[in-house]
């Protein structure tokens, strides 16, 4: 049973298609994303750590699967459209370039030198609208309006005046809760996962984490009392499990409370209320949000900007900058299909599209081939 504020049906696709006999629209979107080339490439794109540390660490694909799992759990408890939530979770990172956030910053920097910019949400929309070629009847994946809207709006509010080309996506309204949910489950997933991978990589020590993350320290004491003979790593795992469970439970309870508050105001909350609300309603309580923010600040201070990771970030910047500059100066060295695209689209945008779609190994091979 869907809640009164859930998305109960799609407004449709860009190209009309007959209904499927046993899959609803959002299940079809989920399946189209899973079978796309862009989704498969996530397996070879960095989340935080490259395989230099271990092949056990999260990549973009495994992170995406974790976000989908967490999101489905929360959506089912809140009566949201689980199929839509799953499709949005699976597609939310397909616009990311190689080399994680370092690659994204580098690609945006070189684009701005030519009067453009790079935004992974907008790039993801281009992927599903144009780049994926799987169907004879249309370009792209022909996803539902709700999934396309969620791709661009799940984590960012775009100014209608600055992005008139996105006017069809109701930029003056909030996205549904199904889309709002993805932004926060994304953060809950990587905050806990990055503590795990940082500890496994020995870039974070147990003492550092306990000192910098009060919630972790408190829960570690509980885990150590309950399991005094367990290995430290197993005690560590128990703490991460408890943190994630605590935040997910808090998120469910807080969203449910906000829906109850809307109902107490005299009306049953609907999707229209979600869209017209002055703020996003998918949020943690103030206490849990403080815990999450402390964890994130610790990760930025001690992991994401760790000097140990600087050589890899520098390499990412060099590789992207070198290849971008090469193809700006010598567009004839681009693959033929991209040379054709450059006849009708700005060359920097075409090069950006090419680079953003690459995996870490492929772009490294291209740099070795063209720039050594």
Q: What is the DSSP letter of 201?
A: T
pLDDT at 52 (0 to 100): 64
Phi, psi (5° rounding) for residue 143? -75, 165
pTM, two decimal places: 0.95
Instruction: Specify whether the CB–CB gap between 247 and 288 falls below 8 A.
Output: yes
- What does the alpha-carbon distance between residue 163 and residue 170 come to, in Å, rounded to a whole number? 11
Domain at 25-310, CATH class: mainly alpha
Q: Measured between alpha carbons, how far is 68 from 53 in angstroms, rounded to an integer? A: 25
Query: What crossing angle do the helices spanning 100-112 and 310-329 adopt, rounded to 10°?
Result: 40
Q: Are 236 and 199 in contact (CB under 8 A)?
A: yes
Task: Quote the pLDDT of residue 245.
Answer: 98
pLDDT of residue 264: 85
pLDDT at position 343: 95
Q: How far apart are CA 199 and CA 56, in angstroms?
A: 13
Domain boundaries, the chain: 25-310
pLDDT value at residue 53: 62
For residue 137 the two structure tokens come to: 């009847």
pLDDT for 55 equals 66
Q: State the DSSP code for 303.
A: I
- Residue 51: what pLDDT? 62
Backbone angles phi, psi at 46, to 5 degrees: -65, 140
CA dihedral for 150, 151, 154, 156, sign (positive or negative): negative
Sort 24 into a burial class: Cβ within 10 Å, 0-12 / 13-18 / 19+. middle
pLDDT along the chain (372 residues), means of 10: 95 95 97 97 84 74 97 98 98 95 95 97 96 94 98 94 94 97 97 94 94 97 96 96 98 96 86 94 97 97 90 93 97 96 96 96 95 85
The per-residue pLDDT for 8 is 96
Question: For helices 347-356 and 310-329, what crossing angle results, to 10°?
Answer: 140
Report pLDDT for 60. Answer: 93
Task: Give buried/exposed letters for 143-177 (b at 16+ CB in 10 A, else e).
Answer: bbbbbbbbbbbbbeebeeeeeeebeebebeebbbb
């Amino acid at each position: 049973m869907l809640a009164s504020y859930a998305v109960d049906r799609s407004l449709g696709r860009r190209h009309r298609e007959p209904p499927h006999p046993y899959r609803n629209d959002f299940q079809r979107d989920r399946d189209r994303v899973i079978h796309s080339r862009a989704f498969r490439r996530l397996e070879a794109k960095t989340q935080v750590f490259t395989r230099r540390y271990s092949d056990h660490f999260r990549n973009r694909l495994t992170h995406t699967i974790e976000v989908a799992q967490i999101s489905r759990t929360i959506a089912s408890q809140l009566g949201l459209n689980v199929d839509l939530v799953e499709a949005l979770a699976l597609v939310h990172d397909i616009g990311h370039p190689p080399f994680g956030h370092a690659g994204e910053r580098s690609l945006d920097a070189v684009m701005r030198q030519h009067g453009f910019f790079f935004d992974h949400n907008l790039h993801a929309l281009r992927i599903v609208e144009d780049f994926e070629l799987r169907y004879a009847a249309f370009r792209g994946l022909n996803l539902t309006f709700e999934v396309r809207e969620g791709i661009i709006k799940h984590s960012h509010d775009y100014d209608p005046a600055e992005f008139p080309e996105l006017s069809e996506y109701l930029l003056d309204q909030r996205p549904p809760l199904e889309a709002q949910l993805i932004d926060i489950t994304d953060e809950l997933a990587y905050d806990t996962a990055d503590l795990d991978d940082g500890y496994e990589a020995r870039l974070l020590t147990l003492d550092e984490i306990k000192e910098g993350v009060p919630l972790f320290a408190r829960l570690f004491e509980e885990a150590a009392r309950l399991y005094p003979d367990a290995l430290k790593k197993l005690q560590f795992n128990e703490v991460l499990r408890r943190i994630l469970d605590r935040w997910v439970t808090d998120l469910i309870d807080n969203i449910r409370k906000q829906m109850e508050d809307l109902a107490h105001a005299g009306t049953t909350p609907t999707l229209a209320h979600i869209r017209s609300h002055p703020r996003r309603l998918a949020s943690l309580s103030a206490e849990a949000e403080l815990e999450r923010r402390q964890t994130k600040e610790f990760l930025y201070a001690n992991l994401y900007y760790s000097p140990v990771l600087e050589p890899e970030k520098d390499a990412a910047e060099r590789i992207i900058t070198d290849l971008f500059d090469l193809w700006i100066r010598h567009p004839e060295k681009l693959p033929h299909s991209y040379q054709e695209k450059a006849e009708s689209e700005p060359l920097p945008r075409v090069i950006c599209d090419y680079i953003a779609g690459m995996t870490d190994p492929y772009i490294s091979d291209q740099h070795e081939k063209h720039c050594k």
